[in-house]
A and B are shown apart, each in its own frame.
Chain A
């Protein structure tokens, strides 16, 4: 609670969190109340911004404002779900390897290193390409399954330094099982760290989704920010100077990344004792 109050005193944290929460708020609420279908071709292609279409239309004559906010919701969903998948997979692998040590850690570190040296975007493209019907959840899982290694490595390092603490020994001596030790003795200690990792994974998820959607490998069942840019690319909006077809989506992706980055660094300033400022 004290640390949360410290966080709220950080203007950068408040700024980043407000920006991200505003995006979530708009992304969730607009599609609930809007009656505009973002896929409806209701106007001429590449109409500029006007009172009827605040952000103009794309090459297919679809309203860009609606597409942008529906896309925001989908990108947030994929990013958050990918962040959850990556954090869960990485935390389980890291905490088990770090605690068990020995050959278990060696095998898990080998797997982690293998995933780390293979560029995740390549794996992502290959997997996405081989699956025909890619739902948002599936895309999120694929992203999560390829971006967990950094989480695993960081959690493993933290766990191996914690496993020899006296409170873990006392738990062992009193008959705690391995799951109880990991969940009750070690995880609470690294929870703030895991949460910060989750924020970074979420940002990675949003970015990776945009990357594969730009290549036309995104989810088939919705509009996403990456798909808006892909659409602009296919209809040559870049070369024709139709900035409204791609710029708002680009700005929104950048804003989401920036807000999450700012939240993460300001949290690190509070949770990391070496960076903590006296107050």
Chain B
């Protein structure tokens, strides 16, 4: 089991994705190469941002990184190395027991709807812990849950509530709390703030960075199509287009001095407040 409280191995490369390719098979037998030769690595305490338009393969890449190949999605080539092991070679049971939730965890896109309305928060969280550590007693589980919920700024009483009783921001925090319960090496946040208002977005992102700083999880892959948001969150940014990384660099460079034509277009498409009273952005006119 990973350290129960925190991740503690500084300057360690936690994840290496090497020339990863994944494809979809259509019902007519055609192959669509959704992710093509993607490589990157992620060290402790770093945030790797991935930006790109809808349909460019960001979420498919996430499935590939987690080695969740559920038909019609299939593995093509490459490796995903966690703790020295290529997890693309794992069978689904080993992946479930050793990796998912434990070493790589994910905060999904529809986090607001990700809690089962028929079950209390504590039951969901308890199941997650029990699926990984069968020997934990009820008291140990509740103690750890309360501690974790306090850490993410939630009243432990939330554990006894149904999702319907929580606000959008609280649900998001609960999902983050549950996804980081096992102190994963890597948290993949797939557009975690897209459904939230601006002020809640800010507090959720601050909380994620704070959790990483406190070594509750090791590093983060942050996926969004909002480039300005990535600038504030990520150390490095990759711009994805048609399943490939067309540009990878430090966030300053990618945001302010993009090299690739597509990255430049993406930056130009950002809606800006006009000083001349024009209502449409450059991007919108394009």
Minimal beta-carbon separation of B186 from chain A (angstroms): 12
Q: B105 contacts A174, CB within 8 Å?
A: yes
Contacts of B71 in A (CB 8 A): 102
CA gap between A169 and B124 in the complex, in Å: 13
Q: A174 contacts B116, CB within 8 Å?
A: no
Q: B66 contacts A173, CB within 8 Å?
A: yes
Contacts of B116 in A (CB 8 A): 167, 171, 184-185, 188-189
Instruction: Scan residues 115-146 of chain B and give those whose CB is less than 8 A from a CB of chain A.
Output: 115-119, 123-124, 127-128, 131-132
Contacts of B119 in A (CB 8 A): 184, 188
CA gap between A172 and B178 in the complex, in Å: 12
Q: A174 contacts B128, CB within 8 Å?
A: yes
Q: B101 contacts A173, CB within 8 Å?
A: yes
Minimal beta-carbon separation of B273 from chain A (angstroms): 34
Minimal beta-carbon separation of A166 from chain B (angstroms): 4
Minimal beta-carbon separation of A232 from chain B (angstroms): 49
Instruction: Scan residues 47-79 of chain B and give those whose CB is less than 8 A from a CB of chain A.
Output: 66, 68, 71
Q: B113 contacts A174, CB within 8 Å?
A: no
Q: A175 contacts B128, CB within 8 Å?
A: yes
Interface size range on B against A: 20 to 34
Contacts of A169 in B (CB 8 A): 108, 114
Closest Cβ neighbor of A189 among chain B residues: B118
B239 at interface (Cβ–Cβ under 8 A)? Answer: no
Contacts of A115 in B (CB 8 A): none
Q: B175 contacts A176, CB within 8 Å?
A: no
Closest Cβ neighbor of B98 among chain A residues: A175
Closest Cβ neighbor of A190 among chain B residues: B118
- B interface SS class: mixed
CA gap between A174 and B101 in the complex, in Å: 4
Q: How many A-B residue pairs have CB under 8 A?
A: 73
Contacts of B111 in A (CB 8 A): 166, 170
Q: B96 contacts A165, CB within 8 Å?
A: no
CA gap between A180 and B68 in the complex, in Å: 18
Given A175-B100, A175-B132, A189-B118, CB of A170 within 8 Å of CB of B175: yes
Q: B108 contacts A175, CB within 8 Å?
A: no
A177 at interface (Cβ–Cβ under 8 A)? Answer: yes
Q: B102 contacts A167, CB within 8 Å?
A: no
CA gap between A171 and B115 in the complex, in Å: 9
CA gap between A185 and B105 in the complex, in Å: 19
Q: A170 contacts B100, CB within 8 Å?
A: no
Contacts of B68 in A (CB 8 A): 172-173
Interface residue count on the A side (C-beta < 8 Å): 19
Q: B115 contacts A173, CB within 8 Å?
A: no
B219 at interface (Cβ–Cβ under 8 A)? Answer: no
Minimal beta-carbon separation of A161 from chain B (angstroms): 15
Given A102-B71, A169-B108, A188-B118, CB of A175 within 8 Å of CB of B113: no
Contacts of B175 in A (CB 8 A): 170
Contacts of A191 in B (CB 8 A): 118
Instruction: Scan residues 84-122 of chain B and give those whose CB is less than 8 A from a CB of chain A.
Output: 96-97, 99-102, 105-106, 108, 110-111, 113-119
B193 at interface (Cβ–Cβ under 8 A)? Answer: no
Q: B108 contacts A174, CB within 8 Å?
A: no
Q: B118 contacts A174, CB within 8 Å?
A: no
Q: B114 contacts A166, CB within 8 Å?
A: yes
Contacts of B172 in A (CB 8 A): none
Contacts of B115 in A (CB 8 A): 167, 170
Given A166-B110, A185-B116, CB of A173 within 8 Å of CB of B105: yes
Proximity string of chain A (92-108) to chain B, C-beta cutoff 8 Å, 1 when within and 0 when not: 00000000001000000
CA gap between A189 and B117 in the complex, in Å: 8
Q: B131 contacts A173, CB within 8 Å?
A: no
Instruction: Scan residues 45-87 of chain A and give those whose CB is less than 8 A from a CB of chain B.
Output: none
CA gap between A170 and B105 in the complex, in Å: 10
From B100, B113, B124, contact of A173 by CB (8 A): B100
CA gap between A173 and B115 in the complex, in Å: 13
Contacts of A173 in B (CB 8 A): 66, 68, 100-101, 105-106, 108, 179
Proximity string of chain A (145-178) to chain B, C-beta cutoff 8 Å, 1 when within and 0 when not: 0000000000000000000011101111111110
Contacts of B181 in A (CB 8 A): 174
CA gap between A188 and B124 in the complex, in Å: 12
18 contacts between A and B (CB under 8 A): A166-B111, A166-B113, A167-B116, A170-B179, A171-B127, A171-B128, A174-B101, A174-B105, A174-B128, A174-B181, A175-B97, A175-B128, A175-B132, A176-B96, A176-B131, A177-B131, A184-B116, A188-B116
* 7 tightest A-B CB contacts, nearest first: A174-B101, A175-B101, A188-B118, A166-B110, A170-B114, A175-B100, A167-B116
